[in-house]
Structures are given as structure tokens and as C-alpha cells.
Structure 1
Amino acid sequence: MFTDERLIRCEELMREVCADFEVELREFNGEHDHVHLLVHYPPKAALSKLVNSLKGVSARMLRKEYSAHVREHLWGGHFWSGSYFAGSVGGAPLTELKQYIEQQQRPV
């Protein structure tokens, strides 16, 4: 599904959502079928609501902007799978986390 162009657009959309939640998207990258985000968010932000909005807004806009291509890559009619992984990294060196995300095999 994802090409470099579509990942750039996905990142723009996700940065907008994060700004609406007063959350900082510190790092973003992806591969052909998923994305990785490093997000700094305050305790007042509900993670499930943030993820729901990130997935919902990006799916809606990417379907609209790349409709022909997206239809070929849906998961049972859905843009994103119903699951996600979120881990807390308090105390972990951010440089190592950023490096991990940067090293994903981004499609061209």
C-alpha cells in the first residue's frame, strides 16, 4: 500500500491529528504495509482515542486521495487492521528509538 509519497502524506495527516491532541509526533516511518510512530503525549491524552483518531483520519483521507490504489490493498475492506502496538519507553534513550524507526525499510 505505502510508497514514499503515501508515507509522506500519512505523516502529514498524523502530525495534524497529534497537534489536535496536543501530542508531539517525534518520529515517523513506515514500510509497505505498516507505520511506526514515536509519540510523546501527556498523561491527560487517552492513548486509545489518539490511536483511533490517527487511524480514522489517515484512513479516510488516504482512501479519498489515493482511492484506486487503496482499494487494491484493503484488509477485508479496512484500511488499517483493528490492532495496534503501543509501548511505554520512559527512561529509554530517545536516540535509540528514533534510530530504530529511521531504519525501517521504507518503500520508494
Structure 2
Amino acid sequence: MQTLSTLHHCVYNLNYHLVLVTKYRRRCMTGPMLDRLEAICRSTAAKWECEVLEFNGEADHVHLLLALTPKVLPSAFVNNLKTVTSRLLRKEFADHLKRYYWSKPVFWSRSYCILTVGGAPLSVLKQYIEQQERPE
């Protein structure tokens, strides 16, 4: 059974799997950087009235499981998240990152992967919709 959230006029459960990759796929992230990145992501999500359900990563990419609200455009949220995390990580870990990006103001690749997750498989939903009693 999935947990549903509510707003004034809707009931929802919007979960996404987000993958962010470092620029040029450089293996530049350390454990302390991932810890700080997680804190920044959780704080940023809270400001958007969203939640980071799960976070983990490797030296060149991170995975986030997100719960967003219908008020949030996923692309706008991701772009803001990438901007905020890039700016803060480049500021706080400048000495470490200059070995990978010299003086360029970059951290994340321009692209990202975001997938919807949870709920029933598409085949079950399709069958459910097909079996609705259509009025004549």
C-alpha cells in the first residue's frame, strides 16, 4: 500500500529517481563532499516543500530518491538543486576541486537522468483503465 499526500484539491504520490553526474565524469567527490552534498540536497528540497527519501553516490555521480509535490516542476527543481549544490561545493571544497576543474566554475554535467518510480506497473494500470465501465 502506498502512502498518499494531500494538498487542498488533490491527492498524490510523486516519487522520482534522480541521477546527477559530475562534469566530464571526473571522479572528484570524496566522502566528506558526499556528506555535505546530502545535507545541501535535503535542505534545498525542504525549501521546495519536497523530501529526499534516499541519497547515495560514488566519486563521479549521485543518486537521489525524491518525493515532490504537484506544485513543483521537476526540471525547475533539478536545475535549482544543481545550481545550489554546485555553487556551495565549489566554494567549500575549492582547494580539492581545483585539481579537477582548474578555475572553471563547473561541477555537474549539463544533463541529468530523472525517472518516475513506485506504484503499479504500466501493464496493470493499462488493464485497469481498459476495464473501466464506459457510459453509453
Higher helix share: 1
Mapping of 1:17-96 within 5 angstroms? Answer: 17-74=44-101, 77=104, 78-91=106-119
Inter-partner Cα distance in structure 1 for 2:38 and 2:94:
18
**Alignment partners' CA distance in 2, 1:42 and 1:90:** 15
Amino acid at match of 2:116: S
How far apart in 2 are the matches of 1:16 and 1:38? 14
Residue 32 of structure 1, CA deviation: 0.3
Q: Give unmatched runs, 5+ long, in structure 2.
A: 1-27, 121-136
| TM-score, normalised relative to structure 1 | 0.79
> 3-state DSSP class of the match of 1:72?
helix
Q: TM-score, normalised by structure 2?
A: 0.63
The one-letter code matched in structure 2 to 1:9 is: R
For structure 1, the residue ranges without an aligned partner over 5 or more in a row are 93-108
Deviation at 1:3, TM superposition (A): 1.1
| Cα root mean square deviation, aligned | 1.8
1:53-81 Cα offsets, whole Å, 9 max, x none, are 1111111111111101112223xx32100
Larger Rg: 2
Matched, 1:2 2:29: yes
Q: Post-superposition shift, 1:89? A: 0.9
How far the C-alpha of 1:4 sits from its partner, in A, is 1.1
Aligned residues: 92
Q: Which residue of 2 aligns with 1:98?
A: none
Counterpart amino acid of 1:80?
Answer: W
Query: Deviation at 1:90?
Result: 3.1
- The structural deviation recorded for 1:13 is 0.5
Secondary structure at 1:87's aligned position in 2?
A: strand
Bigger shift: residues 65-74 or 40-49: 65-74
Local SS of the residue matching 2:113: coil
